[in-house]
Structure 1
Amino acid sequence: MTQKTQYDIVIIGAGPAGIQAAIHASRKQTRVLVLGRLANSALFKGHIENYAFVGKVTPGRELLEQGLAQINSFGAEHLAEDLLQLSRDGEQFVLDLESGLEIRTQALVLAMGTAKKKLGVPGEKEFLGQGVSYCVDCDANFFRKATVCVTGDRSAAVDGALTLQKIAARVYLVTDKLEIAPSLKRLLDASAVEQINGKITLIQGEKGRGLQQVELADGRKLVVDGLFIELGSKGALELATQIGVALDTDTMQYIAVNRQQETNIAGVYAAGDITGPPFQMAKAVGEGCVAGMAAATYVRDLQRKAAVQKA
């Protein structure tokens, strides 16, 4: 793929909602980039048998790969990278990727789902909100001058640790097998983050007093005030907060949209699991369709206004 840095629409998420948005947006002759890994989709390891026109049990991976081939045939591009930071620059949105590449776009479709992978260890559930967090961008300020630990093997964990070193007194990064871009690894190695090879197997503390320590598989213990579990790429909540996208007022877990899949931020749309239940492919595809067409219309209107102003 030619490494362009300017697109009309960037779709974050390569699941059913993101792929469908890309199909409709690219067919309207807009420059579209789909950002994300197929394996991050909840569909990747699943099977589909309750979707109209799919007459037999079909592996999710097969459907996603077919979808990727479709968007490529319509001219959309795909980049299997994690997004680290999202910001605004005037009417444009700026995306900083794990490779160091900066992408700019006029419109965004947020379609990266909501599920946060969990460690699945004793104490994780008990101390959620009492020292355990899944969102550095949301909760970092609660740990000023504290000792914190981040665990994970991907870019979100490293980016979280680098963010926390500006806030916390001491930052550990516990990782079993780090899989990140070389440029991000260089930033990590040059930082004050203390890298520890291992896996967390136990989270301990006291009710009412919160988290106190984590234990690794080899028996080592780290005395910490906070633990940030970042086992994948940046999630919906983190990215939404970076540009001021509003969440639903009932649960504060999903992105609020209208019938055009518009968020409260002009040029930003959302589709799929990120907008709430039911968590079904049929809903994701339908919302992706609406979001892709709406984003393309938004971009074309901007471009027409710019052309008139130049005339």
Structure 2
Amino acid sequence: MRDFDVIILGSGPGGLQAAVHAARGKAAVAVLGRMHKSSLFKAHVENYCCMDTTLSGREILEQGRTQAQKFGARFIDEDVLDLRRGEDGRFSIKLESGAVLTAWSLILAMGVSRNRLNVPGERDLLGKGVSYCVECDGNFFRNQVVVVAGNESAACSGALSLLLIAAEVHLIYTELSVSENLAFQVNSSPIHKHPGRKVKAIVGSMGVEKVVLDNGEEIEAAGVFIELGAKGALELATKLDVALDPETMQYIRANKKQETNVPGVYAAGDICGPPWQMAKAVGEGCVAGMEASGYARRMKTGKSGD
């Protein structure tokens, strides 16, 4: 177990700016996540203040990472599988490698998931057996057959969780892209694995009835969980009872200090809602970094009041 003052989930512009300000505030900072998963990574930016040339998102992120490291932030290129809060007020974060980190404060800056399979039946059967969140909807499929689609940590950890609920779990993936530890857990489990395959269609009328793979194989199932990439921001946030925007239930609700309803948990960037602009993410990250480091300092010294 490794202890930090502030842990930031997400290495996009919001998370990087938060890391810079938290680390400059003398906090021990860890940044989790993979840079290439940021929506900025493949983009180009030409509308950012004081920048008179077009820069690639990758270049911006690499410079931000170097800058945060210069101030002492540590980067751990792993996805998060679980979040908890202990009785002592510290948060524990379980990584896909099995490592556990602790921190006095968290900054959620993971962006929002825009990943879809885009296959026939996916949209029509959403909420009728198709789900994007194992943690949210898994219990609806107790003792039933389910399918999980995805190559990365969200799909693998979701499939493992469903083993405790469903009668049968099928994992559809082209090639696993996870840590050795997580891959071992999947490969040694009773999950029905379908390597090198993709979902071609989801079939059903009133609900999901079967999944058709790209090789023509059909799997009769009641539920399909589409878990592409890392665990979703909202999926992790709900583990800590972080409140969502009541109108859309798609974004985390934060005040002007980027505080959520949970003490010690802050949010910044796309996860807080539109507009999807780097300038907004950076500004919110700045505030979140300063506030989170201040909160951690107060908790360490026993001065938890404002």
Query: Normalising TM by the smaller chain, what interval?
Result: over 0.9
**Matched residue, 1:267:** 264
Where structure 2 has 5 or more consecutive residues not aligned to the other structure, the ranges are none
**Matched residue, 1:58:** 55
Instruction: Read off the aligned partner of 1:38 and give its amino acid letter.
Output: M
Superposition pairs for residues 12-51 of structure 1, below 5 Å? Answer: 12-51=9-48
**Matched residue, 2:162:** 164
Q: State the distance in 1 between where 2:262 and 2:5 align.
A: 16
Q: State the distance in 1 between where 2:183 and 2:46 align.
A: 42
The TM-score with structure 1 as length reference comes to 0.95
**Matched residue, 2:122:** 124
Q: State the distance in 2 between where 1:77 and 1:52 align.
A: 27
Superposition pairs for residues 31-180 of structure 1, below 5 Å? Answer: 31-90=28-87, 91-180=89-178
Residue 305 of structure 1 deviates from its aligned partner by 2.1
Instruction: Read off the aligned partner of 1:73 and give its amino acid letter.
Output: K
Report the number of matched residues.
302
Q: After alignment, is 185-194 or 238-247 more displaced? A: 185-194
Deviations 1:158-202 (CA, angstroms, capped at 9, x unpaired) = 100000110111100011101111111221123221111211111
Q: State the distance in 2 between where 1:304 and 1:179 align.
A: 41
Residue 120 of structure 1 deviates from its aligned partner by 1.4
Q: State the distance in 2 between where 1:205 and 1:44 align.
A: 37
Residue 303 of structure 1 deviates from its aligned partner by 2.1
Instruction: Read off the aligned partner of 2:189 and give its amino acid letter.
Output: S
RMSD value over aligned CA atoms? Answer: 1.2
Q: State the distance in 2 between where 1:147 and 1:243 align.
A: 29
Does the aligned pair in 2 maintain the 1:116–1:134 contact within 8 Å? no
Q: State the distance in 2 between where 1:59 and 1:294 align.
A: 29
Q: State the distance in 1 between where 2:177 and 2:298 align.
A: 41
Superposition pairs for residues 111-260 of structure 1, below 5 Å? Answer: 111-197=109-195, 198-206=197-205, 209-260=206-257
Where structure 1 has 5 or more consecutive residues not aligned to the other structure, the ranges are none
The TM-score with structure 2 as length reference comes to 0.97
Secondary structure of 2:101's aligned partner:
strand
Instruction: Read off the aligned partner of 2:58 and give its amino acid letter.
Output: R
Q: State the distance in 1 between where 2:113 and 2:185 align.
A: 28
Residue 116 of structure 1 deviates from its aligned partner by 3.4
The correspondence for 1:279, drawn from 276, 288, 296, is 276
Q: State the distance in 1 between where 2:201 and 2:249 align.
A: 28
Secondary structure of 1:23's aligned partner:
helix
Instruction: Read off the aligned partner of 2:106 and give its amino acid letter.
Output: L
Instruction: Read off the aligned partner of 1:59 and give its amino acid letter.
Output: S
Instruction: Read off the aligned partner of 1:40 and give its amino acid letter.
Output: K
Residue 306 of structure 1 deviates from its aligned partner by 6.7
The correspondence for 2:295, drawn from 275, 294, 298, is 298
Secondary structure of 1:172's aligned partner:
strand
Residue 214 of structure 1 deviates from its aligned partner by 1.0
Does the aligned pair in 2 maintain the 1:165–1:193 contact within 8 Å? yes
Q: State the distance in 2 between where 1:300 and 1:176 align.
A: 45
Q: State the distance in 1 between where 2:124 and 2:279 align.
A: 35
Does the aligned pair in 2 maintain the 1:116–1:235 contact within 8 Å? no
